[in-house]
């Protein structure tokens, strides 16, 4: 496995990778969800590249950039064990050198849900992903379904700007008790960790209602709301029942539909979703 931290080294190393090349972009502090993306890439590509970069541009001024968990040696060992060929782990100065002033922005999709409560977040995501596409030049790129809106935004950007990259969205991996894997789960104390299960419980309850024939957004969202309300340590930030691609709110589940939610458990913000239809 080759590890590169400068642009010239990345370009040189990329030239040596047989195609197709798969890219798994990450912010590090890897868990089994990330590794499942590497495995998907491994199964479809001749070479697999991963990036590790905690991207300041996608954090708001009051968000957790400085405390975001990091462990590069462990991440590198996990990627090597998973069969990654190339790791791109630039510094902030390499990614955003002095004078940097170009941004990629998806207009409509990013104003909703996560974008509404995290203004500027997706502009940071799309800009860094565009840079990763231009430097790593992958044929395929892999993202997790847990960040459903991020996946929708990146699909949109890739299509709109004609990036020659195929986007794959892989299933959310969960702990044995249902909590969606996330690097931010490390923020939860034991009591909060227990309370965080309300997210999966809420989505599962909505799924049960859906399976028993209730397909109205109002009902599914209110089940989520009531479930979260019953957990004293949790506070619902939003729940949404929306079209999988456009994220337009729906009245009824119709075609591929995303039931998504954000919850604060203590000071930790968690997101999760189920796809219906």
Q: Is 230 exposed, middle or buried (0-12, 13-18, 19+ CB in 10 A)?
A: exposed
Among 78, 109, 152, 241, binds its own copies (CB under 8 A): 109
Beta bridge partners of 242: 249, 258
**By CB under 8 A, is residue 113 in contact with its own copies?**
no
Question: Alpha helices of 118-171 — where are they, by DSSP H?
Answer: 121-136, 148-160
Among 36, 51, 58, 135, binds its own copies (CB under 8 A): 135
187 and 267 in contact (C-beta within 8 Å)? yes
**By CB under 8 A, is residue 127 in contact with its own copies?**
yes
**By CB under 8 A, is residue 246 in contact with its own copies?**
yes
Among 19, 60, 83, 108, binds its own copies (CB under 8 A): 108
Kindly identify the residues of this chain, within the stretch 145-174, that bind its own copies according to CB under 8 A: 156-157, 160-164
Alpha-carbon span 227 to 239, nearest angstrom = 12
Alpha-carbon span 222 to 209, nearest angstrom = 11
- Closer to its own copies at the Cβ: 24 or 247? 247
**By CB under 8 A, is residue 70 in contact with its own copies?**
no
- Our answer to whether residue 121 is catalytic in this structure is no
Among 5, 6, 11, 189, binds its own copies (CB under 8 A): 11
Closest C-alpha to 275, from 171, 182, 175 = 171
Given the rule CB under 8 A, which of 53-61, 134-142, 144-152, 215-223 is the region that contacts its own copies?
A: 134-142
**By CB under 8 A, is residue 104 in contact with its own copies?**
yes
Q: Which one is catalytic: 34, 121, 139, 215? A: 34
Q: Give the CA angle between residues 50, 61, 244 to the nearest 5°.
A: 55
Pairing relation of β-strands 257-265 and 234-243? antiparallel
SS3 255: coil
**By CB under 8 A, is residue 212 in contact with its own copies?**
no
Q: Which residues bind its own copies (CB under 8 A)?
A: 7, 11, 99-109, 126-127, 130-131, 134-135, 137, 156-157, 160-164, 246
């Amino acid at each position: 496995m080759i590890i590169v931290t400068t642009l010239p080294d990345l370009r040189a190393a990329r030239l040596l990778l047989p195609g197709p090349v798969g890219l798994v972009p990450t912010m590090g502090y890897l868990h089994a969800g990330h590794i499942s993306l590497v495995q998907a890439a491994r199964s479809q590509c001749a070479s697999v590249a991963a990036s590790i970069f905690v991207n300041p541009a996608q954090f708001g001024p009051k968000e957790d950039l400085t405390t975001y968990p990091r462990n590069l040696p462990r991440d590198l060992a996990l990627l090597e064990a998973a069969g990654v060929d190339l790791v791109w782990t630039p510094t902030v100065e390499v990614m955003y050198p002095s004078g940097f002033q170009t941004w990629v922005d998806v207009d409509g999709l990013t104003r909703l849900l996560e974008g509404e409560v995290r203004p500027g977040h997706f502009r940071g995501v799309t800009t860094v992903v565009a840079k990763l596409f231009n430097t790593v030049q992958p044929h395929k790129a892999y993202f997790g379904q847990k960040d459903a809106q991020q996946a929708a935004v990146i699909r949109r950007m890739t299509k709109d700007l004609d990036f020659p990259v195929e986007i794959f969205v892989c299933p959310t991996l969960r702990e044995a008790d249902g909590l969606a894997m996330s690097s931010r789960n490390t923020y939860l104390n034991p009591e909060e960790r227990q309370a965080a299960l309300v997210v999966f419980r809420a989505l599962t309850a909505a799924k049960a209602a859906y399976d028993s024939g209730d397909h109205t957004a109002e009902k599914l969202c209110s089940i989520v709301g009531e479930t979260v309300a019953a957990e004293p340590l949790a506070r619902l930030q939003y729940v949404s029942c929306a079209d999988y691609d456009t994220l337009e709110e729906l009245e009824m589940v119709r075609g591929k539909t995303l039931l998504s939610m954000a919850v604060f458990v203590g000071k930790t913000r968690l997101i999760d979703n189920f796809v219906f239809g």
